[in-house]
A and B are shown apart, each in its own frame.
Chain A
Amino acid sequence: MKTFLKILLASSLVVTAGAKEIKLLNVSYDPTRELYQEYNAAFVKHWKARTGDDVVVSQSHGGSGKQAQSVINGLEADVVTLALAYDIDAISQKADLLPAGWQKRLPDNSTPYTSTIVFLVRKGNPKHIQDWDDVVKPGVSVVTPNPKTSGGARWAYLAAYAYALEKNGHDEAKARDFVKRLYKNVPVLDSGARGSTVTFAQRGIGDVLLAWENEAHLALKEFGADKFEIVAPSLSILAEPPVAVVDKVDKRHGTLAVAQAYLEYLYSDEGQEIAAENFYRPRNQAIAEKYAANFSRLKLVTLDQEFGSWTKAQATHFADGGVFDQIYQP
């Protein structure tokens, strides 16, 4: 018994002496604060139980495009969890911090959860907004972030454009006119999705917010279901926010193994449950069915279907001089 206790004591001392503190920085897009707050706590507990090491995860949030630029400019992100693959591609191409084939390293093109764009309207829906056509009507004030800086805004723009294409037999001119009318109704462009939620829900501006689905649910939870309601349009886009380790930074910090495990755990049952509870559509089908009531039923089109690829979409619509610059007059 005494021998056993000595061994136990020695082991705990060894573990304690060997246990180290590992710091990770997760650079994420704007609306994922609540998701990663909960997820980080779960991962820390999981990693401690598995290895005995303490992990401290710091978060940085902002418009996806802005966040990507920050990483390119030197922000030492161990992992990036951004709104669209194009932003992570930019980090790879401009700063060479991770390989070009990063997206193949995790399942489902490195997107452990998906989302879409819905409408958040005032309670009672006084402007009777049911679909995209209602959003472009004169007299309807629309809140959405700036597609130049926000990933969510780019998804929203593409969702509207996709709707117009589907409705008008893929007539590009009509689709362009459609988004032009949409942005004519936008009085304020925030830099990120969270800012737009503040504009709509706290500042009381606008009749409709083009929101990430999770952000819309969060607004109901935070501000009260008696103030707002969610309207699902007839068609929206399947948003696939990807995640990636930033290899060069991880090698410098010695955090590669933990960073990889951090992202892999998003695909675990616990990770998928946390995503669903925070109104992100999980990839795990069983968990998706369990939380089906959380999500609107609507027709979802993919970016590849409608626009080919992010590279094409970015070049056509969001690059300097692209369609957005042509149709939007501040």
Chain B
Amino acid sequence: MNPKQKSKLGRILPTILIGTSAAFIFLAAAHGQTTNSADAAPVKIPADDASGSAAGSATVASTEAAEIETLKKEIQTLDQKVQKLEQQREVEQPAVAESNQEQIQELDQKVRILERRRELDKEAADAAAKTQPKLTLGQNGFSFGSADSNFIASLHGVIQADSRSFINDGGGTAGKNTFLLRRARPIFTGTVFHDFDFNFTPDFGGSGVVIYDAFLNYRFNSALQVEGGRFKSPVGLESLQTDAWTAFNERSLATGLVPNRDIGFELHGDLFAGSVSYAAGIFNGAPDYSTPTAPAQDVDDNKAFAGRLFFQPWKATSIVPLQGLGFGVGGSYESDRGTAADLTSGYKTDGQQNFFTYAGTVANGVHWRISPQGYYYYGPFSLLGEYVISDQRVTAGAVSANLRNTAWEVTAGWVLTGEDATYNGVTPRHPFDPRAGDWGAWQVVARYADLNIDNAAFPTFATAGSASEAKAWSAGVNWYLNRDIRIDASFSRTTFEGGGGTAGLGPITRQPENTIFTRVQVAF
């Protein structure tokens, strides 16, 4: 017997049993009335009921039989109903099961379709992303580029809001206490087709807009690059340091003898994992640290050659204390032909006052420079120094001479909060957030510099009041709130000797210059 049949029987059987039991109960009750009379106390039938009893028994028996018959019919009817219900159920069950199966399949298809659509949408999104330009914004500025990286442009900037306060100037110094926007430069850089870098940097800080940098650099690889346009001449170490990361507000007296920016072409690169850097270029020629408002085109046919070789022998080694040691030499050579434009507009103090200017003099002959230089960075400690010789033939009227001006400087620093000092500034480990108890990085800096004008410059070639030597010492504190914001405060004292031209030292040079500098800088 299969389970279905067993189940059916299990449902029918109680019904049958109930029906049958009911029948038996009635039958037993009827029989008991007739059969149990022997056990029961004899029932005295009245004499005149004896014939009536026999007829009565027959009536009772027929009634019982009818009742039994009725019960049987009822049982039969019940049984038929049960059977019918069982049959209906057998028919409905597979239909329900089939319907459920169809629903499951339908749902399965829907899920698969949704998954496949999601897959295709993702493929389409990935394909679209490859053609979408990329945009980034962070502490290094704003940059956007094409999906294939063939065109990348970035916007950086430097804003320096300074104050200069001249103290104890004895009423003779021409220095004016002032707030000034020392630099306000948007710096547009970029790379096209992976190998061509460009830079365009105007400055809005002065009285007019000046283009500081405008150049294109082709990178064949890191060891071989060609740069052309207007950019910093590769001579002075402090001069080459990015404006945002110099130790003090103004560069030292030594930088006064090296060229600033010039227009030309340069071959440069890094060799041996950056252990050796070289640069060699041909330029129009620039006077000693002229402002960028030097002539936009050459004043004569002669060109200047400038170059630099710098070594960092332990840069790529595991000798950590020596990794930050670098030394080298820079130099330039040109031949000028009788122009004042090839001479410096004046050698300046830290407070940016001229302490020496040429008088009625033109550059007229060979001008060469040489600058041995070096730095050392180890942990929070920094040391930078250079020595510069600027030898230039000059003429004033009928008199000519070779003037050899020299300068040197040493700058030291210590990051009190322990971060590493580098040629490219300090990055605070804990950017300024007073709510979290973080105060950025703090650095103390000190510098000594000396610039010596050739005595042969006096009196013929120097203006009245010019000094023949300036010595400056400076000390300061730099607070790096984060990588982009810096606040500086420093003091500089410059003393002057000798010179005087035809009338002795002048208003600027007859007493020391004492200057307090402050700066708030944003650089990104």
B119 CB to nearest A CB, Å:
8
Find out whether the CB atom of A188 lies under 8 angstroms from the CB atom of B109. no
Q: Does any Cβ of A come within 8 Å of B112's Cβ?
A: yes
**One of B112, B113, B115, B120 near A195 (C-beta < 8 A):** B120
B194 beta carbon closer than 8 Å to chain A? no
Taking CB as reference atom, which chain B residue is nearest A200?
B116
Interface status of A90 (Cβ within 8 A of chain B):
no
Task: Tell me the complex Cα distance, A252–B109, Å.
Answer: 50
Q: Is the CB of B115 within 8 A of A203?
A: yes
CB atoms of A205 and B112 under 8 A apart: yes
Convert B98-116 into 0s and 1s, putting 1 for each residue whose CB lies closer than 8 angstroms to a CB of A. 0000000000010011011
Complex Cα spacing A190 to B120, Å: 7
List residues of chain A with CB within 8 A of the CB of B109.
141, 187, 205
Contact B120 A204 (CB under 8 A): no
The A152-210 residues at the B interface (CB cut-off 8 A) are 187-191, 195, 199, 203-205
Instruction: Provide the bound-state CA to CA distance between A191 and B122, in Å.
Output: 13
Q: Are B113 and A187 within 8 A (Cβ)?
A: yes
CA distance A156 to B116 in the complex (A): 21
Q: Is B120 in contact with A205, judged by CB distance below 8 angstroms?
A: no
Closest CB of chain B to A203's CB: distance in Å?
5
CB-CB nearest in chain A for B112: A205
In whole angstroms, how far apart are the Cα atoms of A195 and B112 in the complex? 15
Taking CB atoms, residues of chain A closer than 8 Å to B123 are 191
Residue of B115, B116, B117 ringed by the most chain A CB atoms within 10 A: B116
Say yes or no: B116 contacts A203, CB within 8 Å.
yes
Chain B minimum-CB-distance residue to A141? B109
Nearest chain A CB to B103 CB, angstrom units: 14
Q: How far is the CA of A203 from the CA of B116 in the complex (A)?
A: 7
CB distance from B132 to the nearest CB of A (A): 15
Residues of chain B within 8 A of A190, CB atoms compared: 120
* Chain A, Cβ-Cβ closest to B124: A191
Minimum distance in angstroms from B114 CB to a CB of chain A:
9
Chain A residues near B117 (CB, 8 Å)? Answer: 188
Which residues 4-38 in B have Cβ within 8 Å of A in the complex? none
Q: Would you give the shortest CB distance from A63 to chain B, in whole angstroms?
A: 11
**Closest B residue, CB atoms, query A188:** B116
Instruction: Determine whether the beta carbon of B113 is less than 8 Å from that of A191.
Output: no
User: 1/0 per residue B485-516: CB within 8 Å of A?
Assistant: 00000000000000000000000000000000
CA distance A141 to B113 in the complex (A): 11
A142 CB to nearest chain B CB (Å): 12
B480 to chain A, nearest CB (A): 47
Would you give the shortest CB distance from B391 to chain A, in whole angstroms?
56
The interface residues of chain B lying within 8 Å CB-to-CB of A204 are 112
> In the assembled complex, which residues on chain B have CB atoms less than 8 Å from the CB atom of A199?
116
In the assembled complex, which residues on chain A have CB atoms less than 8 Å from the CB atom of B115?
Answer: 203
Min CB gap A137→B, angstroms: 16
Query: In whole angstroms, how far apart are the Cα atoms of A188 and B121 in the complex?
Result: 11
Bound-complex Cα distance A72 to B120 (A): 24
Residues of chain B lying within 8 A (CB to CB) of residue A187 = 109, 113
Complex CA gap A73/B22 in Å reads: 95
User: Which residue on chain B has the smallest CB distance to residue A195?
Assistant: B120
Collect the chain B residues with CB atoms within 8 Å of residue A195's CB. Answer: 120
Expressed in whole angstroms, the Cα–Cα distance for A190 and B123 within the complex equals: 10
In whole angstroms, what is the CA distance A191 to B117 when docked?
Answer: 11
Chain B residue at smallest Cβ distance from A189 = B120
For chain A, residues 199 to 249, give those with C-beta under 8 angstroms from any C-beta of chain B. 199, 203-205
Produce 1/0 per residue, A127-148, CB < 8 A to B.
Answer: 0000000000000010000000
CB proximity of A198 to chain B, nearest CB, Å: 9
Is there contact, CB below 8 Å, between B120 and A191?
yes
> For window 115-150 of chain B, which residues contact chain A by CB distance below 8 Å?
115-117, 120, 123-124
| B42-90, CB < 8 A from A | none
CB distance from B146 to the nearest CB of A (A): 13
Which residue in chain A gives the minimum CB-CB distance to B115? A203
* Chain B proximity of A60: nearest CB distance (Å): 14
The CA of A195 and the CA of B127, in the complex, are separated in Å by 15
Contact call A203/B112, Cβ cutoff below 8 A:
yes
| Cβ distance A208 to chain B, nearest Cβ, rounded Å | 13
> How many angstroms from the CA of A188 to the CA of B119 in the assembled complex?
11
- Expressed in whole angstroms, the minimum distance between the Cβ of A132 and any Cβ of chain B is 22
Q: Max chain B CB contacts within 10 Å: which of A195, A204, A205?
A: A205
- Closest residue to B110 on the A side, CB-wise? A187
Q: Which residues of B contact A188 (CB under 8 A)?
A: 113, 116-117, 120
Nearest CB of chain A from residue B506's CB, rounded to whole Å: 68
Bound CA span A190–B124, Å: 10
In whole Å, how far is A244's beta carbon from the nearest beta carbon of chain B?
Answer: 25
Q: Which residue, of A187, A189, A204, has the highest number of chain B Cβ atoms within 10 A?
A: A187
The CA of A205 and the CA of B110, in the complex, are separated in Å by 9
Residues of A within 8 A of B120 (CB): 188-191, 195
A202 — nearest CB in chain B belongs to which residue? B116
- Most B C-beta atoms less than 10 A away, residue of A188, A190, A191, A195: A188
The docked-state distance in angstroms from the alpha carbon of A87 to that of B115 is 31
| Closest B residue, CB atoms, query A207 | B109
Give the complex CA separation of A191 and B124 in angstroms.
9
Residue of chain B at shortest CB distance from A330 = B117
A188 to chain B, nearest CB (A): 5
Residues of A within 8 A of B112 (CB): 203-205
Please, which residue of chain A has its CB at the minimum distance from the CB of B120? A190
Mark interface residues in B383-408 (1 if CB within 8 Å of A CB, else 0).
00000000000000000000000000
What residues of chain A lie closer than 8 Å to B124, measured between beta carbons? 191
Distance A190 CA – B117 CA, assembled complex (angstroms): 9
| Nearest A residue (CB) for B111 | A205
Q: How far is the CA of A215 from the CA of B406 in the complex (A)?
A: 83
How near does chain B come to A168, taking the closest CB pair, in angstroms? 31
Nearest B residue to A199 by beta-carbon distance? B116
Type the 1/0 row for B149-172, where 1 means its CB is closer than 8 Å to any CB of A: 000000000000000000000000
Q: Which residue of B lies closest to A73 (CB)?
A: B131
Residues on B with beta carbons closer than 8 Å to the beta carbon of A141:
109
Task: For the complex, give the distance between the alpha carbons of A188 and B115 in Å.
Answer: 10
Q: Taking the nearest CB of chain B, how far is it from the CB of A206, in angstroms?
A: 8
- Residues of chain B lying within 8 A (CB to CB) of residue A191: 120, 123-124
Residue of B nearest to A190 (CB): B120
Query: Within the complex, what minimum Cβ distance (angstroms) separates B117 from chain A?
Result: 6
Which residues of A in the span 264-316 have a Cβ within 8 Å of any Cβ on B?
A: none
Cβ < 8 Å to A, chain B residues 202-220: none
Q: Which residues of B contact A189 (CB under 8 A)?
A: 120
11 contacts between A and B (CB under 8 A): A141-B109, A187-B113, A188-B113, A188-B116, A188-B117, A188-B120, A191-B123, A199-B116, A203-B112, A204-B112, A205-B113
Q: A187-B109, A191-B123, A205-B112 are in contact. List 15 more A-B contacts (CB 8 A).
A: A187-B113, A188-B116, A188-B117, A188-B120, A189-B120, A191-B120, A191-B124, A195-B120, A199-B116, A203-B112, A203-B115, A203-B116, A204-B112, A205-B109, A205-B116
Binding site for B on A (CB under 8 A): 141, 187-191, 195, 199, 203-205
Closest 4 CB pairs of A and B: A187-B113, A205-B112, A203-B116, A188-B116
